[in-house]
Structure 1
Amino acid sequence: MKIILWRGLLYKSLEHCKIQKQDDGFGVESVIIGHYQHQVYKIRYLISVNEDWSARGFEIRSEIEGAEAPIAGSKTGEDWLVNGTVRPDLRGLPYIDISLTPFTNSLPVNNLRLEVGQSQDIKVLYVDVLNNEIKAVSQRYLKKGKDLYLYENLAKNFSATIKVDEHGFVKDYPELFQEVARFEAK
């Protein structure tokens, strides 16, 4: 079991994320609280991940300015069922990316297993929690060094060099997230 605390620099947040090894992958449970653009929010998410770090399901419970909005998704074969509806636009997407956390960068980092200098274009199921939006997004990961990845959101022309630990978890995501503390059970 690992517990990581991240501070959201842009989103003025604090995240408590627990990652547990399970028989068939990993279970992730996290709580994020913060304040962004005059909105106070609390987000609780659960993600179920296969051993290869591809997502198989998620649940997000958000409370923004007191209004609650649950989102649930599960993968059956290549299809994503989101809030009870099959979403053809998300078919075949192996990863989920949640806007308010650096944890979801760990899914492609660990799954792609890039060598230094290699890059890979991917599509992810992107959840913009504060705007209650779910869509497919094109991204690119380039491994720049042992613990450095250039992350690019291709649609927004955004990039950042993120630093990860030996397990692929974000330690520093410039201007967005920074690890504050961690606990690892032996």
Structure 2
Amino acid sequence: MNAEVSHHGIRALVWRRLLSPGSEYFELRARPEGWVLAGSVVFVDGGLPHFVEYTVTTNAAWETQTVHVLRRNGDGEARLQLRVDGERRWWKGDEEVAHLRGCPDIDVACTPSTNTLPIRRLGLAVGQAADVRAAWLRIPSLALEVLPQRYTRLAETRYRYESNGGRFVAEVDVDADGVVTHYPPGWERVAVTGG
């Protein structure tokens, strides 16, 4: 992408959920060794209210390093903490989550923010495409799966996103920082501040 988040500030925004009632307050913050993506999501799923708060840290290459998630709903509260080492091994405490080994990105299911990770990491030119394997964090279960994905850069600020071998396809619009502005049928940005 052409622009960079200011290393002196943050980008803050709000997304509105399109499929069901909900919204997210999100911040993208620069840090000396990489980036922080942090969001608070409130949404309705199956007629039930859910709250998810997450923080993802990356290195300078936009590879996921840590993931912290808090989920609250009528069933109570659950937390998940993950870290990724330099060999792309994923750890929950002292236990390796072996099936995620090699995944460079987290994909938190309830937010469009984590699409920024492969978009920035891959640095595709218009017309280029790449296949990736993401660690998909399902919400509200907090189950972790490997999700094959494909990103194709259609224009300066538009990507085609495909997952599960093309069973899901969306055209995603992003801003100059690679942050989603419109992700039909899921999300649209309704407010933003600069960095």
TM-score by length of structure 2 reads 0.91
1:172 aligns with 2:182: yes
Residue 161 of structure 2: aligned partner = 151
Q: Name the count of aligned residue pairs.
A: 185
SS across alignment from 1:131: coil
Q: How many angstroms apart in 1 are the aligned matches of 2:121 and 2:135? A: 15
Residue 36 of structure 1: aligned partner = 45
Matches within 5 A, 1:12-51: 12-51=21-60
More strand by share: 1
Q: How many angstroms apart in 2 are the aligned matches of 1:39 and 1:127? A: 19
1:120 aligns with 2:130: yes
**Alignment partner for residue 91 of structure 2, among 81, 104, 107?**
81
1:142 aligns with 2:152: yes
Runs of 4+ deviating beyond 6 Å: none
1:8 aligns with 2:20: no
1:68–1:83 distance in 2 versus 1, CA, 3 Å? farther
Amino acid in the other structure paired with 2:64: A
Q: How many angstroms apart in 2 are the aligned matches of 1:66 and 1:183? A: 35
Q: How many angstroms apart in 1 are the aligned matches of 2:101 and 2:30? A: 27
**Alignment partner for residue 59 of structure 1, among 45, 52, 68?**
68
Report the Cα offset of residue 166 of structure 1. Answer: 0.6
Deviates further, 172-181 or 149-158: 149-158
Kept in 1: contact 2:37–2:113 (CA 8 A): no
Report the Cα offset of residue 51 of structure 1. Answer: 1.3
Q: How many angstroms apart in 1 are the aligned matches of 2:115 and 2:130? A: 13
Query: Percent of aligned pairs with the same residue?
Result: 25
Q: How many angstroms apart in 1 are the aligned matches of 2:93 and 2:108? A: 16
Kept in 2: contact 1:140–1:154 (CA 8 A): no
1:129 aligns with 2:139: yes
**Alignment partner for residue 116 of structure 2, among 106, 110, 115?**
106
Report the Cα offset of residue 83 of structure 1. Answer: 4.8
SS across alignment from 1:184: coil
Q: How many angstroms apart in 2 are the aligned matches of 1:20 and 1:132? A: 24
Report the Cα offset of residue 3 of structure 1. Answer: 0.3
Kept in 1: contact 2:68–2:81 (CA 8 A): yes
User: Could you list the per-position Cα deviations for residues 85-113 of structure 1 after superposition, in whole angstroms to 9, with x for gaps in the alignment?
Assistant: 20111111100000110000000011101
Q: How many angstroms apart in 2 are the aligned matches of 1:60 and 1:85? A: 17
Q: How many angstroms apart in 1 are the aligned matches of 2:132 and 2:114? A: 14
Report the Cα offset of residue 38 of structure 1. Answer: 1.4
Report the Cα offset of residue 82 of structure 1. Answer: 2.2
- Cα RMSD (Å) of the superposition? 1.3
User: Could you list the per-position Cα deviations for residues 13-54 of structure 1 after superposition, in whole angstroms to 9, with x for gaps in the alignment?
Assistant: 110011111000111221111111112011000110111111
Deviates further, 29-38 or 162-171: 29-38
TM-score by length of structure 1 reads 0.95
Amino acid in the other structure paired with 1:75: V
Amino acid in the other structure paired with 1:135: E
SS across alignment from 2:172: strand
SS across alignment from 2:148: strand
Q: Structure 1: give runs of 5+ residues left out of the alignment.
A: none
